Structure 1
Amino acid sequence: MIRSTLDLQQTALQTLQERYRQPHSLRCQVERHLDFSPHTILQMLVLEVERKFRCLAVKRLVRDGGFPPFRSFKYCGKQTFHDVYYDKADLLSSKGVWIRQRDGHWQAKIQRGGDYHNSKFEELSNPMDISQYLAELTGIRHNERNNFGLMQMAAFSTLRESWVADQDFTVVQDVTDFGHTVGEVELECRVEGEGSPGLATERYRAAKMAEMDERITTFMKRYSWAFCAGVPKGKLTAYFETFQ
């Protein structure tokens, strides 16, 4: 019986590796999410809560740039990335779903609560998962080879500067190639679960996101010296105002 169970585990692992053919680091991620029961595969759920702000209130964000100072602080540097957003007659964006390619990699951001300035998202990055989600949403199945049956609606590049404060909070400020600036404070949580999401998973997700949102609110109030007051404008909104 022990030999049979181990054989089943090894077969399941080999099947997953052959199916996805991902780079080594991603294959290891799949391996880590195999339970030792041969009938159970764990799924990783990525939850993200973010709050936008207009721009930084200080010329240079540093640990002790205001009072109180950050408890911990790390500068993460600058990076440039190119986003291409896809939709079909506003079908997805009207439902709080954004599909994009960031530097050629597909991503789906699914709004799970909040509003325009304070958003709660579930993220998908595997094209198979994105295809499955869109099929459930629209009733039509496509894959990444034909852009999931969607049309390009926006494309622009962004220069992002980022920091990590108080260990868990990512602070970013973005400047687009068409001159728009906006910032975000983000918290991310990775949760493992079995099989398809059920009622217990949905309740846990909602409770976890509410907790993350409260933490961001407290963080931004504590360090209000770092963030400009006023109503922020997202990059897509600014893009459409500029080009349409």
Structure 2
Amino acid sequence: MDHNLWIGAVRHGESTANIAARDAARDGLDLIEITEREADVPLSDLGRRQAESLGRRLARMPGSERPELVLASPFLRARETAEIATSGLEVPMRIDERLRDRDLGILDLHTVEGIRAEFPQEAERRRHHGKFYYRPPGGESWTDVALRLRMVLREIEQDLPAQRVLVVAHDVVVALVRYVLEDLDEHVLMEEAKKMPVSNASLSSWIKDDHGWHRERFNDVTHLEGDDSTRPTAEEPVA
């Protein structure tokens, strides 16, 4: 029996907001057209198929290698992904509000062009401070998300009665799990996030032994390849 601690991290499948954001950027719009509140954005049809494909991958894992516990963001797109992917696996799931997506405050629903047009001073502040430390009015910086995520990861290591925990959340959360567990610095994290945005329904994982945390995989979408019905679309860089 492998007693090493294992943490997996999944970004939710494609959501209807992902589609709206890509369409708005393509069309040069200032605002992303979403009617639901942030917490209620559902998966798209593609996103549901991606979650099903992830579930088939989890089901193929040997029993000793499957997650023993799922921690999910309370946002609907993440909960739906977790529920679909673990259907039939009898894995308990807990909702943890600390895994929610980053709050963009007054910039919510604005495209990059929209921010420049409506909030030029904020665009300049973001450029000056950098993505990692910039906090939009009423919102969060990447470091704010990292702070709440550190508490979750500490509890996984010290308090949870499970050795294999799967986190299902959002792109910024997955990127920051890597930041914390691999002890990255700001510049490495931002460069990696720019080069390799976290894909919908991707699987990343780390294992801890006597020497610390080691990455097994990052942004792995092999379970989506070879099937046009689940193939990831081009990803937008994480905000």
Note whether the superposition's TM-score is higher than 0.5.
Answer: no
More helix, by proportion: 2
Which TM-score bucket, shorter chain as reference?
A: under 0.3
TM-score (norm 1): 0.26
TM-score by length of 2: 0.26
Pick the structure with more strand per residue: 1
Question: Larger Rg: 1 or 2?
Answer: 1
